């Protein structure tokens, strides 16, 4: 006897206890199960995508439906015990088909993968007469979900047009029109698989089939059809296939044999183009039952939610149309999947987001961004891509936008940090480079610029998600800032160079061997011309050196001419200050007195005079004084031998334009400052007041010398 009974040993998967008889999808209180996800998970169906099948069985109560399913699919649906005839199947049960023979011989056709079988409570109403609408509801539910509807019917019921089965089929056709009418563009087909039980054999299958087809067409014509579908034919929606089975109790071996043969029609492979006979009858012994057109295209992981929603709509007596349900399912599942994808993304990205406040270049950000985005999106595409395309595409776009906007924040921060870094490294490297060797500034700048820009670009490129984010503007900003930095550093370097040049000139002007002080030893009309020559040659030489150095700094010709201009002005100031120093009254007096003494107190041989009585002290004194007093006007004005002013303005040249824009700093000139080469007073070394004061001082000291000389003769006479 068959082992597939209430206490049968056949089980599904490892869940012997809980899922021994599958799950009760709809219970006797019309509640939808909450355990379907667990059941599908336990049987490895949840992640099967579209790779599963759903079939249902219909028929009057106690016509051996559960028995048939158990034989075909090795399920353990409860069957009525033969001694106590009462209803066993309550509500709707679901169980996964298993194929104990299939695995042993791979060449033998075996059951399709992941066949979920629904055993629907019988429809006699004999025991649930008061609840007629369950029949309609379960039909709706089965049709909305199943690819194949097995219609279980006794041979002697065939042709009984008024029989319960025909009432059920009328219901099936009606609800089918309701379910799919909103989406007339897509034809959802279903297969009605008639299994005629207790076939005695007097009436051939062909005749039974024709009788049933005639009945089905009659029912179809009698239906009131919704607008647009008035002229539709039954074969627009359904395929039919028919088979017979012998009496299980009277011909048990035959029954077993036939059910095993029948089982092969539920094999996996099925041609995409099935050959239909003209009357819409499919020879499923040739094609198998699982034509792709029947599949409801609900991914397995969406099945629990979808089926639950369908059932809810049915029990709430809401209009049910499958296209809308599929869209709703897609929204729900896409959102669920999206959450999981965001979690995956978070695992990688959140640590980087937490570190944002440090404002540093985050190592490894680029690859992490790419990995996180790719992982999240590919998971979404893989899992959500099976759902309603329009919804999926919209949700994919939402997810992409959401993730990208988070990555954008990281990207922008990374660019900012890399930018800051580039500038800092640039300044640091160049400053160190200058100190180290006084290296060639120009090539130091060029090399450092290239290095930091390469680093910046590499970091920006790594985070740009293959061009999704652009860094062109930031790169330009960095380049601009580097160039400004280079100009500034060069300016500083030029300023330092200028200071050194100025110092050299000062040294030259103050040289004891050939400097200004040395020249002042010989006061004559050629004094200032000599100093002028000293000045111009000194400055010209220094400028030659300066230009050489500033070229090494890669200074522009503008920067260079500005610096030269400045150097010339400063040089003059230096000289002018030295001249002031040299012409201080006390120093000049000493020098003038030197000239006077040489003439008055020493004789031609350089021997100190001893005045004797009768010698011409007055005459010598007057001559000596006059010689010296004649020197003073030569000192008063810095001029050339011909009495003209030196061409200082021409020597310095005009101030170049745009002085402030480049790094070379030229301080404000005070017009009043005599040291300023632009001052009109700059060539006046001794003002008339100073000449007077100088003359008076000299006269006083010379007169004193005269008095001393005079006193000397008197004392020598009196001795």
Q: Which residue ranges make up the site for ligand GDP (CB under 6 A)?
A: 61-67, 79-80, 82, 88-89, 122, 197-198, 247-249
Smaller CB separation from ligand GDP, 255 or 546: 255
CB of 119 to ligand GDP, least distance (A): 7
Smaller CB separation from ligand GDP, 12 or 63: 63
- The interface region with Mg ion, picked from 65-73, 97-105, 644-652, 697-705 by CB under 5 A, is 65-73
268: exposed, middle or buried (Cβ count in 10 Å: 0-12, 13-18, 19+)? middle
CB of 226 to ligand GDP, least distance (A): 33
With binding defined as CB under 5 A, does residue 145 bind Mg ion? no
Smaller CB separation from ligand GDP, 67 or 682: 67
Contact partner, 562, from ligand GDP, Mg ion, none, Cβ < 5-8 Å per class: none
Calculate helix-pair angle for 365-384, 389-437, nearest 10 degrees.
Answer: 170
Smaller CB separation from Mg ion, 76 or 89: 89
- Our measurement of the distance from residue 34's CA atom to the centroid of its chain's CA atoms, rounded to an integer in Å, reads 41
Contact partner, 24, from Mg ion, ligand GDP, none, Cβ < 5-8 Å per class: none
Smaller CB separation from ligand GDP, 48 or 160: 160
Q: What is the 3-state secondary structure (H, E, C) of 236-283?
A: HCEEEEEEECCCCCCCHHHHHHHHHHHHHHHECCCCCCCCECCCCEEC
CB of 328 to Mg ion, least distance (A): 32
Smaller CB separation from ligand GDP, 67 or 287: 67
Contact partner, 40, from Mg ion, ligand GDP, none, Cβ < 5-8 Å per class: none
- Asked if 590 and 599 touch (Cβ cutoff 8 Å), the reply is no
Q: Site for Mg ion (CB under 5 A): which residue of 24, 33, 66, 244?
A: 66
Smaller CB separation from ligand GDP, 247 or 297: 247
Q: Where are the beta strands (DSSP E) in 27-90?
A: 53-59
CB of 5 to Mg ion, least distance (A): 11
CB of 153 to ligand GDP, least distance (A): 11
CB of 147 to ligand GDP, least distance (A): 21
With binding defined as CB under 5 A, does residue 75 bind Mg ion? no
Tally the residues of the chain. 719
Contact partner, 61, from Mg ion, ligand GDP, none, Cβ < 5-8 Å per class: ligand GDP
Contact partner, 63, from ligand GDP, Mg ion, none, Cβ < 5-8 Å per class: ligand GDP
Coil, helix or strand at residue 79: coil
By beta-carbon distance, which residue lies closest to ligand GDP?
64
Smaller CB separation from Mg ion, 77 or 237: 77
Contact partner, 121, from Mg ion, ligand GDP, none, Cβ < 5-8 Å per class: none
CA distance 75 to 43: 13
With binding defined as CB under 5 A, does residue 487 bind Mg ion? no
- β-strand partners of 148: 55, 191
- Asked if 566 and 664 touch (Cβ cutoff 8 Å), the reply is yes
- Asked if 396 and 387 touch (Cβ cutoff 8 Å), the reply is no
User: Which of 131, 147, 104, 176 lies closest to 29 in space, CA to CA?
Assistant: 131
Cα separations (Å) of 457 from 368, 471, 475, 484, 670? 17, 8, 7, 19, 49
Place of tokens 């012994």: 285
692: exposed, middle or buried (Cβ count in 10 Å: 0-12, 13-18, 19+)? exposed
CB of 129 to ligand GDP, least distance (A): 16
- Asked if 648 and 675 touch (Cβ cutoff 8 Å), the reply is no
- The interface region with Mg ion, picked from 62-70, 512-520, 565-573, 693-701 by CB under 5 A, is 62-70
With binding defined as CB under 5 A, does residue 60 bind Mg ion? no
Smaller CB separation from ligand GDP, 33 or 61: 61
DSSP state of 95: E
Q: Is the alpha carbon torsion for 526, 528, 532, 538 positive or negative?
A: positive
CB of 126 to Mg ion, least distance (A): 13
CA distance 19 to 80: 19
Question: In this structure, what token pair is assigned to residue 512?
Answer: 């004891």
CB of 145 to Mg ion, least distance (A): 19
- β-strand partners of 192: 149, 240
Smaller CB separation from ligand GDP, 135 or 559: 135
Q: Site for Mg ion (CB under 5 A): which residue of 89, 165, 259, 562?
A: 89
Question: In this structure, what token pair is assigned to residue 619?
Answer: 């005459």
CA distance 70 to 64: 10
CB of 307 to Mg ion, least distance (A): 20
The site for Mg ion (CB under 5 A) is made up of: 66, 89
């Amino acid at each position: 006897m068959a082992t597939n009974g209430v206490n049968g040993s056949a089980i599904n998967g490892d869940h012997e206890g809980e899922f021994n008889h599958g799950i009760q999808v709809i219970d006797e209180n019309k509640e939808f199960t909450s355990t379907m996800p667990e059941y599908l998970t336990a049987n490895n169906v949840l992640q099967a995508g579209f790779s599963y099948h759903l079939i249902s069985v219909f028929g009057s109560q106690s016509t051996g439906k559960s028995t048939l399913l158990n034989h075909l699919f090795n399920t353990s649906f409860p069957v009525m015990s033969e001694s106590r005839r009462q209803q066993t199947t309550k509500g709707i049960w679901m169980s996964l088909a298993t194929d104990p023979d299939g695995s042993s011989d791979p060449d033998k056709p075996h059951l399709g993968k992941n066949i979920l079988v629904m055993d629907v409570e019988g429809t006699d109403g004999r025991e649930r007469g008061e609840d007629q609408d369950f029949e309609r509801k379960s039909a709706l539910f089965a049709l909305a979900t199943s690819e194949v509807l097995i219609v279980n019917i006794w041979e002697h019921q065939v042709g009984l047009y008024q029989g319960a089965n025909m009432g059920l089929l009328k219901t099936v056709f009606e609800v089918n029109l309701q379910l799919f009418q909103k989406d007339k563009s897509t034809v959802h087909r279903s297969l009605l698989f008639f299994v005629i039980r207790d076939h005695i054999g007097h009436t051939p299958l062909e005749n039974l089939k024709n009788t049933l087809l005639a009945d089905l067409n009659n029912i179809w014509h009698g239906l009131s059809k919704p607008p647009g579908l008035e002229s539709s034919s039954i074969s627009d929606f359904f395929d039919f296939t028919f088979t017979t089975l012998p009496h299980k109790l009277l011909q048990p071996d035959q029954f077993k044999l036939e059910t095993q043969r029948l089982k092969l029609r539920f094999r996996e492979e099925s041609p995409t183009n099935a050959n239909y006979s003209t009357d819409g009858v499919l020879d499923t012994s040739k094609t198998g039952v699982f034509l792709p057109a029947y599949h409801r295209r609900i991914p397995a992981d969406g099945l629990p939610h979808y089926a639950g929603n369908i059932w809810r709509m049915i029990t709430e007596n809401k209009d049910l149309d499958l296209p809308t349900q599929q869209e709703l399912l897609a929204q729900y599942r896409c959102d669920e999947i999206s959450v999981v994808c965001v979690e995956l993304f978070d695992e990688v990205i959140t640590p980087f987001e937490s570190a944002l406040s440090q404002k540093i270049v985050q190592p490894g950000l680029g690859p992490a961004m790419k990995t996180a985005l790719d992982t999240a999106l590919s998971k979404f595409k893989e899992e959500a891509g099976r759902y309603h395309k329009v919804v999926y595409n919209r949700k994919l776009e939402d997810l992409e936008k959401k993730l990208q906007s988070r990555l954008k924040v990281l990207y922008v921060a990374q660019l900012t940090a890399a930018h800051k870094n580039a500038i800092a490294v640039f300044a640091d490297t160049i400053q160190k480079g200058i100190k180290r060797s006084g290296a060639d500034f120009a090539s130091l700048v060029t090399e450092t610029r290239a290095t930091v820009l390469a680093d910046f670009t590499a970091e920006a490129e790594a985070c740009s998600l293959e061009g999704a984010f652009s860094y062109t503007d930031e790169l330009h900003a960095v380049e601009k800032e580097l160039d400004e930095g280079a100009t500034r550093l060069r300016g500083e370097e030029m300023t330092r160079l200028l200071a050194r040049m100025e110092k050299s000139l000062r040294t030259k002007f103050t040289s004891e061997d050939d400097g200004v002080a040395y020249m002042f030893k010989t006061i004559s009309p050629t004094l200032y011309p000599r100093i002028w020559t000293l000045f111009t040659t000194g400055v010209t030489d220094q400028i030659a050196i300066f230009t050489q150095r500033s070229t090494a700094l890669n200074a522009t010709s503008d920067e260079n001419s500005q610096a030269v201009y400045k150097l010339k002005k400063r040089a003059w100031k230096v000289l002018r200050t030295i001249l002031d120093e040299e012409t201080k009254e006390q120093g000049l007096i000493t020098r003038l007195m030197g000239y006077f003494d040489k003439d008055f107190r020493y004789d031609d041989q350089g021997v100190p005079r001893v005045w004797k009585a009768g010698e011409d002290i007055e005459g010598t004194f007057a001559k000596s004084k006059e010689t010296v007093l004649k020197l003073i006007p030569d000192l008063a004005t810095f001029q050339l031998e011909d009495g003209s002013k030196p061409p200082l303005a021409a020597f310095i040249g005009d101030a170049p334009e745009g002085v402030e824009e480049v790094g070379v700093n030229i301080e404000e000139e005070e017009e009043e400052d005599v040291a300023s080469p632009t001052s009109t007073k700059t060539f006046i070394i001794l003002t008339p007041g100073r000449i007077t004061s100088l003359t008076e001082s000299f006269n006083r000291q010379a007169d004193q010398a005269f008095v001393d000389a005079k006193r000397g003769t008197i004392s020598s006479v009196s001795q």
